[in-house]
């Protein structure tokens, strides 16, 4: 048994946080991916500012959950909203901001059909690529506010260690990923602040994936998955291997109340310890679906806003 000093800082990654201009639209999107509403609350200007560092915005927060799992998505609609959208389909290779929420689909074609029947359209390009661990197919959907959802399929035996839910049309939000131009700072940040380490790494060099991303340059992708276990949600740290100067950093745009895939929630053992490691403040608040929590919110060097929550506090 681990001692208190050696117990993991992060219990698990709950899932992505989205700054939404229309929570109803995002609820419809994620309902098509199998999530259900777990709770909602309204925050005052003062409380919203305390949590997110915004000025003059109140907020509505809605939590969604993949049924029978502790994983889900949190939506935050700031009022007044923002004209800034973090990501745009014509700039798929922008770096230093989160980009994609991955879902595993045992039957990619059936999942595509069901989700498109709910009114959402995937890109025509479907990546089909080989890796040392097998062949994969991947499809991307650009949803409201530039939120990208990916369906990934492959050898079912391989996904026994890459997703928790494997017997439904799609899994839980399996990973939250985004490209960076230098992976070192964010890998160090996730280790130093949250005690998270690389649990898997891989590389990819495939023209079909270049087309899916929308890159005009050939990519030599390298990736580091960081989390608590390969079968639970993790962070994908992606370096596209593009020529220097060919990527635009979205770091400054990735700031609330800007719209899009803003960050992620982590359930932690001791929020005070996270606050000390991050040099950030800790606050007490309720999170819909999680209840009373101590939280710490900090932006990482990859542009993402990480919110550590100690539930039951």
Mean pLDDT in each 10-residue stretch from start to end of the chain (313 residues)? 64 98 98 98 98 97 98 98 95 93 97 97 90 86 97 90 94 97 97 97 68 64 94 95 89 97 98 98 97 98 98 86
What is the reported pLDDT for 2?
Answer: 40
| Integer CA distances (angstroms), 187 to 53, 59, 225, 266, 307, in order | 24, 31, 10, 16, 17
Q: What is the pTM of this model?
A: 0.93
Measure the CA–CA gap between 157 and 160, rounded to whole angstroms: 5
What is the reported pLDDT for 217?
Answer: 63
- In order, the DSSP letters of 184-229 are HHHHHHHHHHH--EEEEEEEE--HHHHHHHT-SS---EEEEEEES-
**Sheet containing 72-79: order of strands:** 36-43, 58-65, 72-79, 10-19, 260-268, 305-311, 291-299, 282-287
- In order, the DSSP letters of 14-39 are EEEEEE-S-HHHHHHHHHHTT-EEEE
Helix or strand (DSSP H, E) at 183: helix 183-194
Rounded to 5 degrees, what are φ and ψ at 158? -65, -35
Helix or strand (DSSP H, E) at 51: helix 45-52
Of the candidate CATH numbers 1.10.3720.10, 1.10.10.10, 3.30.460.80, 3.10.180.10, the domain formed by 89-239 belongs to 3.10.180.10
Measure the CA–CA gap between 169 and 113, rounded to whole angstroms: 11
Measure the CA–CA gap between 73 and 144, rounded to whole angstroms: 14
Measure the CA–CA gap between 140 and 303, rounded to whole angstroms: 21
Q: Which fold has domain 10-84+250-311?
A: 2,3-Dihydroxybiphenyl 1,2-Dioxygenase; domain 1 (3.10.180)
- In order, the DSSP letters of 291-313 are EEEEEEEEE-TTS-EEEEEEET-
What is the reported pLDDT for 306?
Answer: 98
All structural domains of the chain with their residue ranges? 10-84+250-311, 89-239
């Amino acid at each position: 048994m681990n001692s208190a000093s050696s117990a993991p800082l992060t219990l698990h990654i709950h899932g992505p946080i989205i700054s939404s201009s229309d929570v109803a639209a995002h609820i419809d999107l994620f309902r098509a991916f199998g999530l259900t509403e777990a709770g909602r609350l309204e925050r005052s200007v003062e409380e919203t500012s305390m949590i997110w560092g915004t000025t003059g915005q109140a907020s509505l927060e809605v939590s969604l959950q993949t049924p029978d799992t502790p994983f889900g998505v949190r939506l935050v609609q700031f009022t007044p909203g923002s004209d800034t959208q973090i990501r745009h389909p014509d700039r798929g290779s922008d770096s230093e901001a989160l980009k994609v929420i991955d879902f595993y689909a045992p039957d990619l074609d059936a999942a595509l059909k069901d989700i498109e029947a709910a009114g959402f359209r995937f890109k025509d390009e479907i990546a089909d690529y080989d890796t040392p661990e097998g062949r994969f197919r991947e499809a991307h959907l650009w949803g409201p506010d530039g939120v990208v959802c990916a369906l990934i399929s492959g050898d079912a035996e391989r996904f026994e260690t890459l997703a928790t839910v494997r017997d439904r049309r799609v899994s839980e939000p399996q990973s939250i990923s985004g490209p960076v131009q230098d992976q070192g700072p964010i890998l160090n940040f996730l280790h130093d602040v949250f005690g998270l380490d690389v649990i898997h790494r891989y590389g990819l060099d495939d023209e079909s994936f270049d087309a899916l991303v929308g890159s005009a340059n050939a990519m030599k992708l390298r990736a580091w998955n960081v989390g608590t276990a390969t079968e639970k949600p993790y962070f994908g740290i992606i370096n596209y291997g593009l020529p220097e100067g060919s990527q635009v950093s979205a770091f400054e745009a990735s700031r609330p109340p800007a719209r899009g895939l803003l960050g992620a929630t982590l359930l932690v053992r001791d929020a005070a310890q996270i606050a000390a490691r991050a040099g950030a403040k800790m606050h007490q608040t309720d999170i819909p679906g999680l209840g009373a929590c101590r939280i710490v919110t900090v932006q990482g060097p990859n542009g993402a806003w990480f919110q550590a929550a100690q539930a039951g506090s």
